Structure 1
Amino acid sequence: MHHGGYPHGGSSAFLLAQLGFTAARRFAERLAPLDLEPRHVGLLRVVAAAEGQSQQAIGERMRIAPSRMVAFVDDLEARGLVQRKRNPADRRAYALHLTGRGRELLETALAEAARHDAEITAPLSEQERHSLHELLTKLAEAHELDQHRLPGGPH
């Protein structure tokens, strides 16, 4: 063990950062032909999983500031992917729903995400992929990373 105590001459945290950056950039490139960004896919996924929840609740779940959430949903609504509906129980609240087009685009994006995942982990065996996923999940939980939160720090 040399190089400041790191095996193989590199820090795991640094490798994770480099891999994360590369994986995020490549995923963004895959989504570009769909005119989507990774953050759009994140929001569409959460809306699909929590159909009919309020814009505020979904924004809080994803830790997006209310002002940013409004602009974000405006954008997706203008593209015909998300629909705001008044909540009969609370006239001030909007419930979010995917449109048919939003659902189709999300399915296409998730298929791209699966291909992306397969490409990133292609050099690994099935067992190694499983082990890597378990280890990354363990680290994510230990550092309290929320799977619904968009990457890139606080928004």
Structure 2
Amino acid sequence: MSTVDDSVRELLLLMPRLVGRAKKLPVPAELRSFALAPRHITLLAYLLFDGPLTVNELAARLEIAPTTASLMVGELSRQGVLQRTECPVDRRRTIVTITDDHRPAVERWLSAGANAWRKALAPLTREQRELFVGTLRAYQEAVCEG
């Protein structure tokens, strides 16, 4: 079994390659003109995997202020990537979804990463997957703390 320092070394060598490969995933031609940033990818992934959400739900999941989420949604709505509709139950709430025109391109774009994660995580038990995801979250929090 490796020491913590051995594991740290492996991860420090592995992470730049993972990030580099993720950055090389080609943006579908239909989405290239939108200048999508990583924050947009996360927003689109939530909408793709979780379905239509309110702006406040998106803000909570993205861990950003509702005003910031609203600005992002507004930007992508003006470009035709997202659609905002009034909630039929509470007209004060806005429901956000990916437009039908752009959903196939978003699905193609995110499916490569999703399929790679499925392949990597499938052999693990539920507990092992939870440990792995929890470890990545803890790493992200530690990096953000500085």
Q: TM-score, normalised by structure 2?
A: 0.66
Q: Could you list the runs of 5+ residues in structure 1 that have no partner in the other structure? A: 119-125
Query: Counterpart in 2 of 1:42?
Result: 42
Query: Counterpart in 2 of 1:11?
Result: 6
Higher helix share: 2
Work out the CA distance in 2 between the residues paired with 1:18 and 1:93. 45
Q: Partner letter of residue 16 of structure 2?
A: F
Shift of 1:58: 2.0
Query: Counterpart in 2 of 1:138?
Result: 131
CA RMSD of aligned residues (A): 3.9
Percent identity between the two aligned chains: 23
If asked which structure has higher relative contact order (CA below 8 Å, sep 6+), I would say: 1
Query: Counterpart in 2 of 1:109?
Result: 109
Query: Counterpart in 1 of 2:21?
Result: 26
Which secondary structure does the structure 1 equivalent of 2:95 belong to? strand
Q: Could you list the runs of 5+ residues in structure 2 that have no partner in the other structure? A: none
Tell whether the 8 Å contact from 1:56 to 1:66 is kept in structure 2 after alignment: yes
Q: TM-score, normalised by structure 1?
A: 0.63
Aligned residue pair count: 136
After superposing the two structures, state which structure 1 stretch, 102-111 or 10-19, moved more: 10-19
- Counterparts in 2 of 1:80 and 1:18: CA distance versus 1, 3 Å: farther
- Counterparts in 2 of 1:111 and 1:51: CA distance versus 1, 3 Å: closer
Work out the CA distance in 2 between the residues paired with 1:90 and 1:11. 54
1:93-126 deviation per Cα after TM superposition (whole angstroms, max 9, x unaligned): 21111101231121211233257x38xxxxxxx8
Shift of 1:54: 0.9
